[in-house]
Amino acid sequence: AINEERLAASGATDRLNNRIVALDAATGAVAWGFDLDGDASVVNALVSIREGSCVFSDNTGTIYRIDLKTGQPIWRAKGKVDHAPTVGSAIIDPKQDVVYATWNEVGWE
């Protein structure tokens, strides 16, 4: 996902599968990297950028919102998502017929 300042992406290799990386959109330099806990993985996870942050889910079901400038977590919430696509502020899990709607102020519902 990309906005005017950052490009945020998940890794697609064993070395990067538990990390989200943001690049400076103007220079291509690595701005920050966010490492997931334990055995969590984001291989092939889609990252969505909205309102200065990125939203994504990992294979443990956790949903994250990360500040695009700093790489610091704004919030994280345990869900039932497993590598579901992220669209805007909604995370869709077609396996369970569930849509998680996110909102910056409160987390997820």
The CATH number of whichever domain residue 95 belongs to comes to: 2.40.128.630
Q: How confident is the model at residue 89 (pLDDT cuts 50, 70, 90)?
A: low
Tell me the two tokens of residue 35.
């490492």
Domain count, the chain: 1
Q: What is the pLDDT of residue 106?
A: 46
Residue 72 included in any domain: yes
Please report, rounded to a whole number, the percentage of residues in the chain having pLDDT higher than 90: 6
Q: Return the closest-CA partner of residue 71 out of 28, 18, 17, 32.
A: 32
Average pLDDT, rounded, for the chain: 71
Q: In what order do the strands lie in the sheet with 19-24?
A: 6-10, 19-24, 30-35
The verdict on pTM exceeding 0.75 is no
For position 108, what pLDDT does the model report?
46
What pLDDT score does 24 carry?
A: 86
pLDDT tens-digit series, residues 22-47: 888 888 888 988 888 877 877 556 67
Q: How many CB atoms lie within 10 A of CB 15?
A: 8
Domain of 91 in residue numbering reads as 6-108
Is 28 domain-assigned?
A: yes
- DSSP helix/strand/coil, 12: coil
DSSP helix/strand/coil, 85? coil
Query: Does residue 1 belong to any structural domain of this protein?
Result: no
Residue 100 to residue 84: CA distance in whole angstroms: 10
Say whether pLDDT at 48 is over 70. Answer: yes
